[in-house]
Amino acid sequence: MTFAAHNSNYNNMENSLIIEIIGYMAPATLVVSFLFKNVRTLRSINTVGCILFVIYGLLIQAYPVVIANFIIAVTNIYYLLKRKISNS
C-alpha cells in the first residue's frame, strides 16, 4: 500500500468517526432537551440537536432527516424570538 492510499484510508476513517460522533450527539442533545421544564431552555437545546441532525443528514445524504430537522429548528427559533419580543 502506498503512502497516499494509506493516508486516504486514514482520512476516510477519521471522517467516518466524525460523522458517527455527530450522529450520536444529535439524538443525545434532543433527549437532554426534553429533561428541561423551562420551554425556552428546552427549545434552545432542541434547536442545537436539530442543527446537529441537519449536519448529520447532509453528511450521510439523508435528505428527509435534513428537511424534518430544519423545519423543527426554524419553528423553535420562531417561537423563541416570538417569546423574546412579547417579553420585551
pLDDT at 12: 82
3-class SS at 42? Answer: helix
Average pLDDT, the chain: 90
In this predicted model, what pLDDT tens digit does every residue of 40-57 receive, in sequence order? 999 999 999 999 999 999
Mean pLDDT, rounded, for 50-76: 97
Does position 81 have pLDDT exceeding 90, yes or no? yes
pLDDT recorded at residue 78: 97
Q: How many C-beta atoms lie closer than 10 Å to residue 14's C-beta?
A: 10
Q: What is the pTM of this model?
A: 0.84
User: Which residues, 6+ apart, have CB-to-CB distance to 75 below 8 Å?
Assistant: none
